[in-house]
Amino acid sequence: MSWYLMHRGWLDNPAFKPEPLTEREAWLWLIENAAYEDTVACVRGQPAKICRGSLSFSLRFLAQAWGWDDPVRVRRYLRRLENWGMIALSTVTKQSVITLCNYERYQSPSAADDTKVQRKRNTKRNENAALEATNNNEVNEGKEPKQENNTLPEWVPQREFDAFLEFRQSQKRPIKTAHARHLLITELDELRREGHDIAQVLNQSISNCWLGVFAPKVKLPKPTWATAPEKKSYGLKMMEATARAVSDALNMKEGVK
């Protein structure tokens, strides 16, 4: 990972208009105002040790410095940074102490020197690799190129596979390299192990104009509401019950006669 150094105080440059800081700029403010060496700060009138890479300010002060109207927003922002592993929060004399994670990794002068050394090593390695490739080309010049193995596994249907390659060609996304071909066969093998028919998989991709291969879509069962019997309303049920009661009463009356 590459990185760069920033001069302290650049956020207060008069070339910038005074305006509320964005969350990204608030993160840079924390980096800039973190202690670059162990120190002792006055926190609520009491001396408190602040380690390198840490800082201690009240939420109200941070809200004012960042141009944010609510200290609650500052608290939520700091909690989010803590959840992402960017800072660690602690409390000293009832005031939050913010410790920046990986401060030594990115702010140590030795890290910059190590990065320069690593960059030189990478450059030298790339130069050696390019020289070796050139030498190999000179040695192999005039020899017949090695034939690639394009044999398909027995479980791959030749006709559907060729049709899929032709489809990719028509979409101007051909499978040119042997590595890309190998990746395609690997994906098909995974689908085969899951129990899918490879011919159906390839035909599905062609018919749907898909550049990749996927498991065949399964038809969903008919919704239960489409086959379930119609539910009767409460009023209809009461009417039917009343009708049955009247019918039973008439039948009993006729039986008495």
User: Could you give the CA distance from residue 45 to residue 172 in angstroms, rounded to a whole number?
Assistant: 71
User: Could you give the CA distance from residue 131 to residue 187 in angstroms, rounded to a whole number?
Assistant: 36
Strand pairing class (87-92; 54-56): unpaired
User: Could you give the CA distance from residue 5 to residue 7 in angstroms, rounded to a whole number?
Assistant: 7
25-34, 151-160, 220-229, range with the lowest pLDDT: 220-229
- Which amino acid, one-letter code, is at 196? H
Taking all residues of the chain, what is their mean pLDDT, rounded to a whole number? 80
Count helices and strands (H / E) in the chain: 10, 5
pLDDT tens digits along 223-234: 555 555 556 677
Enumerate the β-bridge partners of residue 91: 96
pLDDT at 206: 92
Phi, psi of 43 (to 5 degrees): -120, 110
Q: Which two tokens stand for residue 52?
A: 């390198």
DSSP structure class, residue 11: G
pLDDT of 193 higher than 50: yes
pLDDT of 158 higher than 90: yes
DSSP structure class, residue 39: E
Q: What CA–CA distances, in Å, run from 192 to 153, 156, 214, 226?
A: 12, 9, 11, 35
User: Could you give the CA distance from residue 116 to residue 122 in angstroms, rounded to a whole number?
Assistant: 10
> If we measure between CA atoms, which residue out of 50, 142, 39 comes closest to residue 96?
50
User: Could you give the CA distance from residue 103 to residue 142 in angstroms, rounded to a whole number?
Assistant: 56
Contact 75, 59 (CB under 8 A): yes
Enumerate the β-bridge partners of residue 98: 55, 89
The secondary structure element, H or E, covering residue 189 is helix 178-193
pLDDT at 113: 54
Boundaries of every domain in the chain: 10-106, 150-222
Q: Which two tokens stand for residue 90?
A: 């602690």
pLDDT of 124 higher than 90: no
Pick the residue with more confidence: 92 or 116? Answer: 92
User: Could you give the CA distance from residue 79 to residue 65 in angstroms, rounded to a whole number?
Assistant: 18
pLDDT of 201 higher than 80: yes
Contact 56, 96 (CB under 8 A): yes
**pTM value surpassing 0.75:** no
pLDDT tens digits along 64-90: 999 999 999 999 999 999 999 999 998
Q: What CA–CA distances, in Å, run from 103 to 34, 45, 75, 107, 251?
A: 9, 27, 21, 6, 94
pLDDT category at 117 given cuts 50, 70, 90 is: low
pLDDT of 60 higher than 50: yes
pLDDT of 212 higher than 60: yes
User: Could you tell me which residues come within 8 angstroms of residue 198 by beta carbon, excluding any fewer than 6 positions away?
Assistant: 155, 156, 157, 160, 188, 191, 192
- Does CATH number 3.40.50.11890 belong to domain 10-106? no
Taking residues 154-181, report their average pLDDT: 91
